[in-house]
Chains A and B, each alone.
Chain A
Amino acid sequence: MTVYDLTAMQLRQAHAAGELSAVAITEAFLERIRQQEPIIQAFLHVDETEAIRQAEAVDAKRRSGQPVGLLAGIPVGIKDLLCVRGTPTTCASRMLASYHPPYDATVIQRLRAADAILIGKTNLDEFAMGSSTETSAFRPTRNPWNPECNPGGSSGGSAAAVAAREAPLAIGTDTGGSIRQPASFCGIVGLKPTYGRVSRYGMVAFASSLDQIGPMARTVADTALLLEVIAGHDPRDSTSVPRPVPRYTERLTMPPQPLRIGLPREFFELPGLDREVEAATRAALQEFVARGATLVEVSLPHAADYAVAVYYLVATAEASSNLARYDGMHYGHRTAIAGDLATTMSRSRAEAFGPEVKRRIMLGTYALSSGYYDAYYLKALKVRRLIAQEFAEAFSRCDLIAGPTSPTPAFPIGSKVNDPLAMYLSDIYTISANLVGIPGLSLPCGFSRCGLPIGLQLLAPHFAEETLLQAGHLYEQVTDWHRRCPPDPKRMTGTSPNLDSPPSALE
């Protein structure tokens, strides 16, 4: 087995046993990145010299007999929405094309303290606004399973990097499904933690009541490992919760009590649900039943019918406020055309924001404007309460809620860019977790006939990440979807990727 095929847990063991140095591990992944990137384009920035320097420091630490961290020598890809001191942090936007943060996000500090190797910054939809990584101002990322498809989004670069074995671990962020949907599209594991579980200090804000940072990996154990490192209270993020962090990696074995899994009737009745996705999801549930779980029917009518509408009012309202800071005065793009203050601000924004960001700022500003506030923003917050109540009621009868992560497998690049509403509906199953603040896990649970991965989503009550990871780990023990490796993209060039039965578009 080559180095880049090893999981983070295996790399840890090999490093601890002295079989692989941090430098050897890092070099293997950098070589893999050089091989894959011409096609996959998962990264916006890779600094090989800096990555090797970090690896040498970890090796020196070990040689000197000092204890090393949980992620010693393990490369981690970082979504380019997190500030890394002195490293470009662009948010895939022209607005921040030359921004170099003067400080590290708390998650980055924690990764450094755990002796991880920050191997590069991964591509995303501009300011995390999108579901396909196509709104990136710089380049699209390709899905390692089929380069004609997108990797999902907004953490599409992180998902593609992990799937293509360019990094064993990656950091994503999830505001409406941006970790789980790309994890599902790329056949990897992605976890959106409970709101407040992970500090957001140094994460560029999109929608502050919804944003959360989380781990992406190829196995549930690796996901648990990365969560263990990044979770915890941070005095610099007043929304982070002062609550002890469980040793997730040591508690992956399911307790013997039978699991009660809730199935939201409405999630399976959605007109746009692809039949192969439905079949794979139902088959996955049977694996749980075969291991003693009971299935409980639950009802989430408001979540199924209205979560997307609520989200596109709440998220855009918050985004319009958060993105007001980009005025071209303190950092970020400033227009070269001389003018008065207001004109300079307005021109700088017009020049540097892409169409999806502008669309959301306008929608959010409208939803918050005098005369429309009650009808749009306030109404959305009331329906958000109804959705939260619905989930609380459902969780009184089950431990987990299960369903598909996304209604379809990955879709072709370009197929929905001019239809924002169809793009938004790709997040119909994931959005509620952000509105309600609960954790959600996406796991590989099958493949479509044309070879695209399908994801199973498990949702749990606030702070029940442990249950999610245990259930996911159990499923992984009896299936091997997570062991499949995408074809080498080089072999796919020149041949036409098999798209004769494309995933049904959700209209």
Chain B
Amino acid sequence: MAEQLNRILGFVDQLQAIDTTGIEPLAHPMPLDNVFRDDEPNDSLPVDAALHNAPARAGAYFAVPAVFESEG
């Protein structure tokens, strides 16, 4: 894996040779503005559907390992 990554990085390094002085980066192919909508309440997923794929659940919640260590 490391050797393959090195080869790929060597390949993309060819971009360094291109003169991009004064060129604006293009992050997105289409001119996009923020898209706003009215803040109206809408249907959302029922709790059971939202939890259906959870690896572990506790009642109406996702069960996850402790986020903070107890002795902290």
Contact = CB atoms under 8 A, between A and B. Distances in A.
B60 interface: no
Interface string A7-40: 0000000000000000000000000000000000
Given A331-B55, A382-B25, A383-B15, A195 B4 contact: no
A238 interface: yes
B59 interface: no
Interface in A417-475: 420-421, 424, 434-438, 462
A368 interface: no
Contacts, number: 123
Interface residues of B, number: 38
Interface on chain B toward A: helix, strand, loop, or mixed SS? Answer: loop
Interface residues of A, number: 60
B52 A388 contact: no
Nearest to B25: A381
B32 to A, nearest CB: 7
A40 to B, nearest CB: 30
B27 interface: yes
Nearest to A235: B37
A362 interface: yes
Nearest to B14: A309
B67 A341 contact: yes
Given A331-B55, A333-B55, A420 B4 contact: yes
Interface string A385-414: 110100000000000000000000000000
B26 to A, nearest CB: 4
B26 A379 contact: no
Contacts of A344: 64-65
Given A313-B12, A359-B4, A421-B11, A383 B64 contact: no
Interface of B: 1, 4-5, 7-9, 11-12, 14-16, 18, 20, 23-30, 32, 35, 37, 45, 49-50, 52-56, 62, 64-67, 69
Closest 9 CB pairs of A and B: A437-B29, A381-B25, A334-B55, A331-B53, A382-B20, A385-B26, A238-B35, A102-B49, A309-B12
